[in-house]
Amino acid sequence: MPSPDLVAAIDAVDVARYDGLAYRHQAARWNPLSGAGARSQGGRWNPPESFSTLYLAMESQTAVAEFHRMAKRSGRAPHDFMPRRIYRYALRLASLVDLRQGPAQAALGLTLDDFGADDPARCQAIGEAAQYLGREGIIATSASGRGR
């Protein structure tokens, strides 16, 4: 159960909509719609063993930057993760937590450093509270520092 204070803070943040394309890099052998890997391993916005999550980028270059960030953090070269694919998604979402602006970040106690921090615990708590509220996703600055 997420923190009631955090749930209330997220509930007070204006809900955003997004109607457009998004991109994702992924190993070729996995289903690009499952989110099961993020559910079991966790990610920036969801704790391990929590809920399925698709990590998408609003720009294809951001998906590539995130791939290179992932390889570097693993201490491996990008070619070690091949073959990979870039998938394109057409989205129509109506209930997003928009963390691109300072006021929403401040309301949730986030700084720009949190988006790319080695310890994602703060972001994971926010993701867990957003999921609890039934939000469809989070729009935030990429952990790579490039794009959303």
Q: Note the pLDDT of residue 67.
A: 94
Residue 86: per-residue pLDDT: 95
* Residue 146 in domain: no
pLDDT of residue 10: 96
Q: Specify the pLDDT at position 112.
A: 87
User: How many domains is the chain built from?
Assistant: 1
Contact 124, 47 (CB under 8 A): yes
On whether residue 147 sits in a domain, the answer given is: no
Q: Helix count (H) and strand count (E) of the chain?
A: 5, 3
Residue 128: φ, ψ to 5°: -65, -40
The model's pTM: 0.92
pLDDT tens, residue order, the chain (148 aa): 899 999 999 999 999 999 999 999 999 888 999 999 899 999 999 999 999 999 999 999 999 999 999 999 999 999 999 999 999 999 999 999 999 988 999 999 999 899 999 999 999 999 999 999 999 999 999 999 889 9
Quick check: 12 and 108 in contact, CB under 8 A? no
Is there a domain that residue 39 lies in? yes
What's the pLDDT score for residue 43? 93
- Cβ contact 143:21 at 8 Å: no
Strands 137-139 and 84-98, sheet pairing: parallel
pLDDT value, residue 31: 93
Residue 85 lies in a domain: yes
Of the candidates 40, 21, 144, 29, the residue with the CA atom closest to the CA atom of residue 89: 21
User: Is residue 145 assigned to a domain?
Assistant: no
Rounded to the nearest 10 degrees, what angle do helices 4-12 and 121-132 cross at? 70
Q: Does residue 104 fall inside a structural domain?
A: yes
pLDDT at 17: 97
Task: Tell me whether residue 148 is in a domain.
Answer: no
Domain that holds residue 25: 4-139
pLDDT of 53: 95
- Within a domain: residue 144? no
